[in-house]
Amino acid sequence: MKKIVINGGRSLTGEVTISGAKNSAVALIPAAILANSPVILEGVPDIQDVHSLIEILEIMGAKITFSNNVLEIDPTEIVSVPMPNGKINSLRASYYFMGTLLGKFGEAVVGLPGGCYLGPRPIDLHVKGFEALGVQVTNEHGAMYLRTESDQMQGNRIFMDVVSVGATINIMLAAVKAKGQTIIENAAREPEIIDVATLLNNMGAKVRGAGTDIIRIDGVEELHGCRHFMIPDRIEAGTYLALAAAAGNGIKVKNVIFEHLESFIAKLQEIGVKMKISEDEIEVYPSTDLKAVNVMTYPYPGFATDLQQPLTPLLLMTSGTAEIIDTIYAKRVNHVPELARMGADISVEGNMIIVNGPSKLHGAEVVASDLRAGACLVIAGLLAEGTTTIYNVEYILRGYDHIIEKLTALGASIEMIEEVEAE
Ligand code: EPU
């Protein structure tokens, strides 16, 4: 068991460089198995989810090397291995193996995904999409069994009832090897979807329209290896920007694509955060007179649900009452009682989080309930007077590359402690 211990209240300053996007990496890595020769991914974050996916690929017979953020995947010896449970259950994004194994072998057995609990996270749209491509899908004892009904999946028109990142990517991953054309309507438009489509096209696929709400995919027989440089993590960037605004004394956030963060930056500007935005970096200056603002999360390009929790400590520093409504995951509120334990005036009323500021935070023992709640508690710990101990930090390590080192370089007093459990 690991825990993070923070001595808060320090002035933070300097530069931080953003790593590759977790939610892109977790799709690009399964996508690589569709190729018939090695795929080289550059800029891959060194996070637990990536290591879990590497272990899964190795079980299938892939040859992998991973160093200096370059991940080389040689899928030439991969075989079809049923994965009803085990490592596959440790992360949500393992559902992308449904799409890629279908494309590779016409069949897949994949345990139902784990990952962060943010309330119910169904996969009915993924299933609906696969069925439209001619795949028979059954759920047996918590694992999904998928089998192509005829020789090959058949392209189709698929309308997504709800805008879903995962379902859009998963259907795209399967459809690149289907016969004929697939059209995904009401597709999600996240930058990670464009990144996956770019990789697939570099591998020889024919995907058009990624980044809009209509994606057209013409199936191909074969996909080949390639080299792909992935996008930076807009959620990690947003987390450090929120930290810089709340606790920073001048922090430059480097390797950022501003266009991916427009709704978030607009919110920071509304709060009164002073920034200088350059081509691929954003400098956040110390700001005073911060104003409370309301936040409502939406699918991209709206305000990202993943940044709702990391923004909350900043809202605690503003004057007035802020209301947060998460329209994607209404139950993404488990950070609230932990922040209250640290002295925050914050509560949940119905589907709304109510934040009254400015709050003075003090150190406490808190528990990370999920990845972004963990990031929120790290920021709160850095702001608080005294010592904060965060438990369940495995969630944070799933998605934040070298977080301890990056924060230490900014002047934070933060360490990870491995607790030896009593026998
Ligand atoms: N939904 C359905 N049916 C489905 C799929 C989704 O009803 O079959 C609903 C969900 O319940 C949710 C909404 O559609 O209300 C959107 O969910 P989406 O499918 O877009 O979420 P996801 O693909 O499972 C990804 C990210 C999440 C991020 C969401 C929303 C990955 C691996 N995960 O999840 O990231 O919160 O999109 O943008 O890409 C995180 O990074 O901390 C994280 C949880």
Co-location of 213 and 179 in the same domain: yes
**Range in 22-26, 78-82, 200-204, 313-317 the model is least confident about:** 78-82
Co-location of 123 and 217 in the same domain: yes
Q: How much is the pLDDT for 65? A: 98
254 annotated to bind ligand? no
Residue located nearest, by CA, to atom 5 of ligand 1: 123
For residue 208, give both structure tokens: 């058009």
In this predicted structure, the answer to whether residue 282 has a pLDDT above a threshold of 80 is yes
Q: Which atom of ligand 1 is nearest to the CA of 370?
A: 42
**What CATH number is attached to the domain comprising 295?**
3.65.10.10
Instruction: Give tens-digit pLDDT for 72-129.
Output: 999 999 998 988 888 888 788 889 999 999 999 999 999 987 666 666 778 999 999 9
| Closest residue by Cα to residue 45 from 72, 73, 30, 25 | 25
What are residue 39's phi and psi, to 5 degrees?
A: -110, 130
Residues with CB under 6 A from ligand 1: 23, 26, 92-93, 116, 121-126, 162, 164-167, 188, 235, 305-306, 328-329, 371-372, 399
| Closest residue by Cα to residue 307 from 367, 384, 373 | 373
Co-location of 311 and 405 in the same domain: yes
Instruction: Give tens-digit pLDDT for 235-268.
Output: 999 999 999 999 989 999 999 999 999 999 999 9
Burial class (CB in 10 A: 0-12, 13-18, 19+), 190: buried
Residue located nearest, by CA, to atom 23 of ligand 1: 166
Residue 171 lies in a domain: yes
Instruction: Indicate the top mutation candidate among 184, 190, 298, 328 to test ligand 1's pocket, ranked by most ligand atoms within 8 A of CB.
Output: 328
In this predicted structure, the answer to whether residue 299 has a pLDDT above a threshold of 70 is yes
Q: How much is the pLDDT for 91? A: 85
Residue 11 neighbours by CB under 8 Å, 6+ apart: 249, 411
> CB–CB of 148/102 below 8 Å?
yes
Q: How much is the pLDDT for 118? A: 66
Average pLDDT, the chain: 95
Instruction: Give tens-digit pLDDT for 343-364.
Output: 999 999 999 999 999 999 999 9
357-376 mean pLDDT: 96
CA of 114 to the centre of ligand 1 (A): 12
In this predicted structure, the answer to whether residue 423 has a pLDDT above a threshold of 70 is no
Co-location of 244 and 185 in the same domain: no
Q: How much is the pLDDT for 244? A: 97
Co-location of 37 and 178 in the same domain: yes
| Closest residue by Cα to residue 175 from 135, 231, 123 | 135
Co-location of 402 and 302 in the same domain: yes
Helices (H) and strands (E) in the chain, counts: 13, 23
Q: How much is the pLDDT for 141? A: 86
Q: How much is the pLDDT for 3? A: 97
Q: How much is the pLDDT for 407? A: 98
> CB–CB of 370/118 below 8 Å?
yes
Co-location of 206 and 258 in the same domain: no
> CB–CB of 28/20 below 8 Å?
no
Single out the residue in 195, 229, 263 at which a domain terminates.
Answer: 229
Single out the residue in 197, 229, 261 at which a domain terminates.
Answer: 229
3-state secondary structure of 234: helix
CA of 133 to the centre of ligand 1 (A): 22
Q: What is the pTM of this model?
A: 0.97
In this predicted structure, the answer to whether residue 59 has a pLDDT above a threshold of 80 is yes
Q: Which atom of ligand 1 is nearest to the CA of 120?
A: 11
Residue 423 lies in a domain: no
> Which domain does 219 fall in, by range?
22-229
Residue 314 lies in a domain: yes
Co-location of 206 and 287 in the same domain: no
In this predicted structure, the answer to whether residue 148 has a pLDDT above a threshold of 60 is yes
In this predicted structure, the answer to whether residue 386 has a pLDDT above a threshold of 60 is yes
CA of 304 to the centre of ligand 1 (A): 11
d(CA 131, CA 148): 9
**Range in 114-123, 171-180, 193-202, 271-280 the model is least confident about:** 114-123
What are residue 82's phi and psi, to 5 degrees?
A: -65, 135
276 annotated to bind ligand? no
**Range in 3-7, 110-114, 215-219, 385-389 the model is least confident about:** 110-114
**Residues tagged active-site:** 116
For residue 152, give both structure tokens: 């090959």
Single out the residue in 205, 229, 253 at which a domain terminates.
Answer: 229
Co-location of 216 and 262 in the same domain: no
Q: How much is the pLDDT for 7? A: 98
Co-location of 45 and 8 in the same domain: no
> CB–CB of 281/293 below 8 Å?
no
> CB–CB of 119/331 below 8 Å?
yes
What is the percent of the chain with per-residue pLDDT over 70, rounded to a whole number? 98
Residue located nearest, by CA, to atom 4 of ligand 1: 123
